[in-house]
Structure 1
Amino acid sequence: MTPYEVFFFSSGGVEERWSEKDIGVMRANVLVGFPLGGLLSVAIAACAAVVYLPQGISVDTLGQVGLPVGMALGKIGLAILVLGFFAATFGAACETGLSTGYSLAQYGGFQWGKYVKARDAAGFHVVILLATVIAAGVLLTGVDPVLVTEMSVVFSAIALPLTYFPILVVANDPDYLGEHVNGPVANALGLAYLVVIVVSAVAAIPLMIITKMGQG
């Protein structure tokens, strides 16, 4: 539900012409894929904590996160983990780059689409290219990528209610969803989650300052 994901998935849905027949796949992504991703993230963090915390070592790089897996599963396990890291980071880079192109093209009112030829959607493709070059340039400055990620997460949390609430409204609009509008249970869960993310958005910057980005 972070802003870039909303632009990416909604625009991708338009391009790929999602319809009612895709609802099952989308539900599987949410109910299976998201919890699995969260579980794996917690598992990686837990493994790193078990290995590093007793030694008083802080994890500062992605490579350090993978070392406990190598210790437990050997070279084959480490190779699989590296492949997973590559897939996750490359996929996230593609998502954010496309999202930048989608959002600016749609705001500016010019042609967009990953399936549209570059000469027919020049602005869209130029934006993606520039976003990629700028991102690479930021990394070449030597800035800590972990810090950049943490800052991005904080500011995404602040913006989260602005993307989540409109989606919740649309989920109750029969003109868009017909018989697939939210029911009472879905709305109750949705409103409860809305309260959680509003509180998180309000608390994000104060907590960042108080904890000194998790170091306090």
Structure 2
Amino acid sequence: MTTKSFRFGPATLVTAAFIGPGTVITASLAGANYGYALVWALLFSVFATMVLQEMAARLGIVTGRGLGENLRTLVSAPLLRWPLLLLVVAAIVVGNSAYQAGNISGAALGAEAIFSGVTFIQHWYSSTGIKFWPLVLGLLAATVLWFGRYKWIERCLIGLVLLMSLAFIATMILTRPDILALVKGAFWPQIPAGAMLTVVALIGTTVVPYSLFLHAASAAQKWPQADIDTRSALAASRADIAVAIPLGGLISIAIVSTAAIAFFGSGQQLDNVSQLAQSLTPLFGTAATWSLAVGLMAAGLSSAITAPLAAAYALTGIMGKPLDLKQPLFRLTWLAIICIGVLLSSLGIRPLNVIWFAQVANGILLPLMCICLLLAMNHKVLGAYKNNRRQNVLGALVLLVSLLLSGRSLALAFALL
């Protein structure tokens, strides 16, 4: 296997995971309410994601195991191991089940905008009371995962990420951004009045714990130790991260820019992404609206594939099962999450209690996963590939940010009580 020419790899799955409906909504609100002022927060989130994902990928490549499997060996004391593993299962599996409804609903929103004139779909909903697109999109996600071949899944997600990139960046170009304001927002950090929670939300939609499980396991499968030497695999992985993660950041910046042009300073309030799409038509024509709809559909569908995939990697790894995409527990996990997401989305149910629990669990899990990852990256099993001082300092900085994100998630969750 050669690594001389660059190819997209597992880092693209991470981009597909964090550019979902939640990121689209958060970035849209940031642009609409604060213009370009918070672009710097997106740049920082890209940096933090690259730091953590490089460690996760290195762990998977060197050990040949996912993060879940490494956690089993890292925490040997049963009194610590089982509470930690149960928390991971609760946050990743249960949490992704709740968020899957949002992923599918977001993709359905984009699909409805694209195919709004199809009478069959309108007749379906009026006669059954069940939304059409969540069923179709859930079936697409299940089809991609059912084949159980990593390369096939990776190629599908690369295609969706490239489609997202073209759609959102084209929308930004069509809306003619203020380049000077964008550059100032990127390199002159400021927090306007009332923007602190939005800053934390922008970082929190990018730096997510389940991407660590996704990246470690997928890197171990992409570059198996029997097929490629470790140094070559690590070089390929770092090149992959250096392209794919910043590409995700560029998509987020494009969304911020589009919302800023359409809403910032207009006196209008942005309540949802549909409103953003509608506002673009009279200003910039149908091309911008269509681009936004295509991007939203691709973002929702990519996250609808990666969320169940990450949950399956996490659960099977924690249970000590091999990284086999056709393994029964692996398939059962992602299938259950897709079914829950389709059910909640197609019936229009908002799983408030489950989402509340997921936010609490994720709020605790993110800094905990950062600590566990740093401990794992300094373990003797990595040998010469352990963290150096610079990597530990950067990891500690991201840990501090994760504590801030944790506080925000917990505060938001308890505010729902």
Per-residue CA deviations over 1:126-168 (Å, capped at 9, x if unaligned) read 22212111111111231459xx989866753431112122222
C-alpha separation in 2, matches of 1:150 and 1:55: 32
2:342 corresponds, among 110, 119, 136, to 136
More divergent stretch after superposition (189-198 vs 105-114): 105-114
Question: What is the CA–CA distance in structure 1 between the aligned matches of 2:399 and 2:408, rounded to whole Å?
Answer: 14
* Aligned position for 2:143: none
Q: Distance in 1 between matches of 2:400 and 2:411?
A: 18
1:25 corresponding residue in structure 2? 236
Distance 1:155 1:72 in 2: 42
Deviations 1:17-45 (A, max 9, x none): 35432323332343333233224313313
Find the partner of 2:394 among 180, 185, 189: 189
TM-score (norm 1): 0.73
Q: Give the corresponding residue for 1:88.
A: 299
One-letter code aligned to 2:295: G
Take 2:359 and 2:263, find their aligned partners in 1: how far apart are those partners? 24
Structure 1 residues 108 and 172, CA, compared in 2 at 3 Å: closer, same or farther? closer
Q: 2:369 — aligned with what?
A: 163
CA distance in 2, matches of 1:188, 1:123: 38
Measured against aligned partners, the alpha-carbon deviations of 1:72-100 in whole angstroms (never above 9, x if no partner) come to 66444444443333332222111111122
The equivalent residue for 1:38 is: 249
1:98-143, CA deviations, whole angstroms, 9 ceiling, x for partnerless residues?
12222222333445522x3xxxx22321222121111111112314
Q: Structure 1: 5+ residue runs without aligned partners?
A: none
Give the counterpart letter for 1:181 in structure 2.
K
- 2:387 aligned counterpart, secondary structure: coil
Distance 2:363 2:282 in 1: 34
1: CA distance, partners of 2:356 / 2:251: 19
What is the root-mean-square deviation in Å for CA atoms of aligned residues?
A: 3.5
Q: Find out whether 1:125 has 2:331 as its counterpart.
A: yes
TM, length-normalised to structure 2: 0.42
Match of 2:316 in 1: 105
Matches of 2:380 and 2:289, distance apart in 1 = 49
| CA distance in 2 between partners of 1:177 and 1:68 (Å) | 56
Per the TM alignment, residue 71 of structure 1 is displaced from its structure 2 partner at its CA by 5.9
Instruction: Give distance in 1, aligned partners of 2:400 and 2:222.
Output: 33
1:175 aligns with 2:381: yes
Aligned residue pairs total 205
Give me the whole-angstrom Cα distance separating, in 1, the residues matched to 2:355 and 2:280.
22
- In structure 2, the residue corresponding to 1:85 is in which secondary structure? helix
1:39/1:141 Cα in 2 relative to 1: closer, same or farther (>3 Å)? same
Q: Secondary structure at the match of 2:308?
A: helix
Equivalent residues in 2 for 1:189-208, closer than 5 Å: 189-207=394-412
Q: RCO higher in 1 or 2 (8 Å CA, sep ≥ 6)?
A: 2
Q: Percent identity?
A: 23
Separation (CA, whole Å) in 1 of partners of 2:260 and 2:287: 22
Q: Flag the 1:56–1:80 CA change in 2: closer, same or farther, 3 A.
A: closer
Q: Which residue identity does 2:373 align to in structure 1? A: I
Letter in 1 for 2:213: F
The answer on whether the counterparts of 2:359 and 2:410 sit within 8 Å (CA) in structure 1 is: no
Secondary structure of 2:399's aligned partner: helix
CA distance in 2, matches of 1:152, 1:40: 26
Cα offset, 1:177, TM superposition:
5.2
| Equivalent residues of 2:210, 2:311 under 8 A apart | yes
Separation of aligned partners in 1, 2:322 and 2:279: 47
Are the equivalent residues in 2 in contact too, given 1:101–1:112 (CA < 8 A)? no
Within 1, Cα distance between the matches of 2:338 and 2:286? 32
